[in-house]
Structure 1
Amino acid sequence: MDRHVELPAQAPLSAGSTLTVRDAVFRLLRAFGMTSVFGNPGSTELPMFIDFPEDFRYVLGLQESVVVGMADGYAQATHNAAFVNLHSAAGVGHAMGNIFTAFRNRTPLVITAGQQARSILPFEPFLGSTQAPELPRPYVKWSVEPARAEDVPLAIARAYYIAMTPPRGPVLVSIPSDDWDVQTLPVDAREVSRHVRADPDLLARIAAALDGARSPAFVVGAAVDRDEAWKEAVELAERHNARVYVAPMSGRCSFPEDHPLWAGFLPPMRERIVDRLAGHDLVFALGAPAFTYHVPGHGPHLPEGCELVQLTDDPQVAAWAPTGTSVVGSIRLGLLDLLECSTPRDRPAPPAHARPPRVADPEPAERLPVAWVLQTLADVRARDSILVEEAPSARPVMHGHLPIFETETFYTMCSGGLGFGLPAAVGVALGKPGARVIALVGDGSAMYAIQALWSAAQLALPVTVLILKNRRYAALYEFARIFGYRPDAHVPGTDLPDLDFVALAGAQGMKGLRVETAEQLRPALHQALQSTAPMLVEIEVA
């Protein structure tokens, strides 16, 4: 079993005892440690919640994408699948953006969707979901509408095991509304192994390649942090004096950015990756694809004379790797095996990665530079505070001026889809009680899931929401140049005037502050980061 999930003992039942589907499901969820239900209720879900158990809590989101985003953050924070309840086809449709993100994040979610009563499904009823299991595909690992009401608990058990087996991800069970009172046999939670140990012969080949390399480089991805392999990754890198790069578009931090071996972030562009890795004769892609690209490229995937080896928990990632040797298995167990069989040659430590210089304070009338804002946040935030980020235009600047130092203190979306950051911050705060969670979100991103402010306020979570307000979808201006726009050209549909996030926060029960000048920033950050209640800070940036 996962080191963080131990199944509690279940109350024994006499042989042949039956329960309602409802009681059997709640008994099973309790055994799986899934006593938080993330949802936005609809009519077809109401029968599930008759006599809702006192030891469960319902976490309400005001839109289904917010519901899934909160559950994603919660599941990542707790290392266990989160339980989600959506409304028929419309609710699943609303949630699909963040279901896609959960799939790319490799987040285990057990999603149930209400369905119309079986007795009227043949008549295309109002709110019926046609071919319900097909709707979320291909962005769930498995989906089903059980053939019989009696099979619902067994389907949920199977869904949980599939969701928790690496590569983890969301699953969906469609449940007709008249299933809940049907009698069925209980299903007991079982111990199911979730980790596959990598092939020892192939791991030995990776160890030999690492030992014999002149100048090895590690490229670490989100799976290192997901599999709690941070310590082992640092130890293996230190043993080999290998420079450590962060994989393109990684959704987690998997190596401390103040470590002497840390070498910075790889861009999602083939030619630039080759340039950055020049001089290395071996690249070890660790818990990362090789490589994630965002724009078309040409030429080789690696520098001339460089070899690729890869350890991944995802057989699909191993299958499409363009070159090299790929090993599939648990990242942490694979690293432990590599530490056992690795005897590297002596090699000098590589030069330290140079960080950008500090940004000078802006002039009194100057719009605040994003780099200066993030640098100031880095100065005042606690080292172990948790950053949940969704500010695409600011991310390259963040890489230089807002370093991450500790495991499980950084989360972002691996999908590129907006609407994850705000609700995920709420979910992370729920999953890590007492931790200071900072949601760093662009103004465009925030509007995809602004309802999450209400959930944070209702739950009284210590979440600090920082809105980088540049009044447009700024990331699109970078891509406009790639696609041939003139540098001074206006990009249609990208301006965002007249958004007032302080007012939006107040309308949902959260206090808000506005920062327009340099002297306002540090006091506002101190106030928000020390508040026991959630607080939003709107920051006007250049």
Structure 2
Amino acid sequence: MRTSAFTHPPETHRPTVREAAMRLMRELGIDTVFGNPGSTELPMFRDFPADFRYVLGLQESVVVGMADGYAQAERRAALVNLHSAAGVGHAMGNIFTAFKNQTPLIVTAGQQARSILPFDPFLSAAQATELPRPYVKWACEPARAEDVPLALLRAYHMAMQAPRGPVFLSIPADDWDRSTDWVSTRDVSHTCAPEPKAIAELARALADSERPVIVVGAGVDRDNAVGQVVELAQRHSAAVFAAPMSARCSFPERHPQFQGFLPAMRERIVDALEGHDLIVVLGAPAFSYHVEGQGPHVPPGARLWQIVDDPQVAAWTPTGQSVVCSIDLALDALLQGPSPSGKRKLPQPRPVPAVAEAGDPMSTAFALQSLNAARQPQDVVVEEAPGARSEIQRHLPMDGAETFYTMASGGLGHGMPAAVGIALARARQQREGRVIALIGDGSSLYSIQALYSAARLGLSMTFVILNNRRYAALQDFAPVFGYAPGSKPEGTDLPDLDFVALARGYGVGAARVQEPQELAPALSSALRESGPNLVEIVVA
């Protein structure tokens, strides 16, 4: 928290809901509010505390995306304020993504004054708590104004409790000036230890396995456990794969035991894991699929163990055994378990990708290879370029904890604002390095307004737009759904976009690169500037 000269009023003073809520947020370490203001929210911000910060987003989906990135980088719940029904509706895509990301968010929304709610007033939200469901862990409109601070405290602990996620509070406009009582924070454990017998059985299975494999998901990095996974993999000479669609980097991708990325297809997952007798899935579903599949979920003869902090994910896992607990605590226990019973061979390192040659026009592989050469080890990549993801995985390897973020939902519009939120958190933490928002041309237009917030905040970040003038993921995926080779789904071409003009219109300096020889100097310059900028790369 930032230090402040603010002092609490004497305890004899009976506070307003506003005073009690702000003091509670301060004690919880939450002094930043992400929002886009509307009329029913104005009473919340009257006499806004000088030690709080309001971060403006120009559209509600941008607001939630920024808060999501900020909360992930801070490892703490972030506070979001939205307008009533229309504003929450605008934000729903990124609320869904925050739910899938397991990001702790306290989402508040204005409601019309209680005294006129019986008359269906303008800008009221009918059944306000139903609108964001099922993609919030808890939703509440307190029965009395006096209950708002207690509801905020409950919301915080609900958001932070594993599995973390967004919660929602609808607050009538006239609640903020009502009198209430001070609410104090209290200690609540937000982690869950593994069941001792189950984790001991898994530790013994690991020791007795002849050829174990570990599959890592976003939960590993969320629980700050990447170093523990590296230690466990090295102790057991285990191959390591990234889980399908994982939204974080949970194992260094240049490590010789890293074997690559599992696809979201049942048969290909089984093929990739063939020959392993024990599969340990950490912090991920087993498994996320994108298309229909047939046959077994794991290779014949292989045993599957899953460690995940979400009981619902454990419940639908189709095979094997699951332990529901915090990933870091489970790894602590596994590292105290027995060493391998016999000598094992290390897995063969995966092949080094071929060097991409400069072409006219540039290939996506060449662009990513150039970005990899230009970035610094302390830089962070936030990605939303699904059409280029396979090339990203080949040519832009991530180095482990807190180096990579993307959306777990598959919903577009998260990456640009999330990168702003991550950059804001890292600036607050005084961390070195630059945030690189690697975004597809189509993806960027879902939340292009994030450029304005980056400019206003003066953040150390570079937006890299891969402009291939199409929705590449849709065109490339079309054959799976019966499209003839070379045919394109309607509405998937995006010609004549000018990202330099868009960026400058929001106050962000920008450059467009079309020639291969211009790319390295353009990236080098952009990644060493102090404020935000954008590089549009025209690729084939």
Q: Is this a same-fold pair by TM over 0.5?
A: yes
Change (3 A) 1:160 1:7: farther
Change (3 A) 1:12 1:64: closer
Alignment of 1:17-36 (within 5 A): 17-36=13-32
Alignment of 1:382-531 (within 5 A): 382-433=376-427, 434-531=432-529
| Alignment partner of 1:359 is 2:356 | yes
Report if the CA contact (8 A) 2:70-2:78 is conserved: yes
Equivalent in the alignment of 2:189 = 193
Q: CA deviation at 1:356?
A: 1.7
For 1:503, give the aligned amino acid.
A
Change (3 A) 1:57 1:12: closer
| Identical positions, percent | 60
Partner-residue secondary structure (3-state), 1:19: coil
Report if the CA contact (8 A) 2:478-2:488 is conserved: no
For 1:220, give the aligned amino acid.
V
Deviations 1:135-186 (A, max 9, x none): 0000000000000000000000000000001110000100000000000001
Deviations 1:422-465 (A, max 9, x none): 00010000000153000000000000000000100011001100
Residue of 239, 246, 251 corresponding to 1:243: 239
Equivalent in the alignment of 2:156 = 160
Deviations 1:227-262 (A, max 9, x none): 000110100010000000000000000000111110
What number of residue pairs does the alignment pair up? Answer: 535
CA distance in 2, matches of 1:54, 1:73: 24
Q: CA deviation at 1:342?
A: 2.8
Structure 1 residue ranges without an equivalent (≥5): none
Partner-residue secondary structure (3-state), 1:45: helix
Partner-residue secondary structure (3-state), 1:285: strand
Alignment of 1:67-78 (within 5 A): 67-78=63-74
Runs in 1 of length 4+ with deviation above 4 angstroms? 5-8, 10-17
Residue of 375, 379, 395 corresponding to 1:381: 375
Report if the CA contact (8 A) 2:2-2:51 is conserved: no
| Alignment partner of 1:349 is 2:343 | no
| Alignment partner of 1:110 is 2:138 | no
Structure 2 residue ranges without an equivalent (≥5): none
Report if the CA contact (8 A) 1:384-1:406 is conserved: no
Residue of 287, 290, 295 corresponding to 2:286: 290
Deviations 1:335-387 (A, max 9, x none): 0011112321221211111132111222xxx1110011101111110112000
Change (3 A) 1:312 1:11: farther
Equivalent in the alignment of 2:364 = 370
Report if the CA contact (8 A) 2:58-2:450 is conserved: yes
Report if the CA contact (8 A) 1:437-1:464 is conserved: yes
Report if the CA contact (8 A) 1:7-1:32 is conserved: no
CA distance in 2, matches of 1:251, 1:7: 33
- The TM-score, its normalising length taken from structure 1, stands at 0.97
CA distance in 1, matches of 2:470, 2:338: 50
Partner-residue secondary structure (3-state), 2:336: helix
CA distance in 2, matches of 1:490, 1:292: 27
